[in-house]
């Protein structure tokens, strides 16, 4: 193998690795106070894209947002320019018991478990968070991924 062909193979391998990393991981910047004191406005977070089936209670997730305050129901259309991401903590994943005591919007929800395709999310700073307490379930098709850590 010549030095030139080795360089081409190395460049192709690096490009492939870069493509894979960009499809698997993304960074988001916190905008707002709903996750204080855990995450502060302006902090950058590393997020790993995951399947909804892997969600667990207690994980911090990034989902496409509400766009505006709305009642429970189907997702509202996304604002112009793409989705607005929200950062919340999973209170109940599909199959978990419905947390009726902490989520007023779900007190009258049928069944005893969170249905497939739905998730209950809460902000760590309730007075500054629009979340499942007001909107009920969010659909798991809104999921971008799970927060892994802060980026310095």
Residue ranges per domain, the chain?
A: 26-151
Check residue 76 and give its pLDDT. Answer: 41
pLDDT digits over 118-143, tens only?
999 999 999 999 999 999 999 999 99
CATH fold for domain 26-151? Umud Fragment, subunit A (2.10.109)
**CB neighbour list of residue 88: distance below 8 Å, 6 or more residues apart:** 34, 35, 60, 61, 63, 121, 122, 123, 129, 131, 132
State yes or no: pLDDT of 72 exceeds 60. Answer: no
Residue-wise over 5-32: b if at least 16 C-beta within 10 A, else e? eeeeeeeeeeeeeeeeeeeeebebebeb
- Helix and strand tally (H, E) in the chain? 2, 7
Report pLDDT digits (tens) over 31-66: 999 999 999 999 999 999 999 999 999 999 999 886
């Amino acid at each position: 193998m010549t030095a030139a062909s080795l360089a081409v193979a190395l460049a192709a391998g690096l490009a492939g690795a870069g493509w894979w990393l960009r499809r698997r991981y993304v960074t988001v910047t916190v905008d707002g106070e709903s996750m204080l004191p855990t995450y502060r406005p302006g902090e950058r977070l590393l997020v790993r894209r995951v399947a909804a089936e892997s969600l667990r209670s207690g994980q911090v997730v990034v989902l496409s947002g509400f766009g505006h305050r709305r009642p429970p129901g189907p997702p509202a259309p996304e604002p112009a320019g793409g989705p607005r991401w929200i950062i919340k903590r999973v209170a109940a994943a599909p199959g978990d018991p419905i947390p009726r005591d902490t989520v007023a919007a779900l007190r009258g929800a049928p069944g005893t478990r969170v249905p497939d395709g739905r998730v209950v999310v809460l902000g760590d700073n309730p007075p500054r968070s629009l979340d499942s307490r007001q909107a009920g379930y969010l659909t798991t098709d809104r999921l971008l991924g799970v927060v892994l850590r802060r980026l310095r």
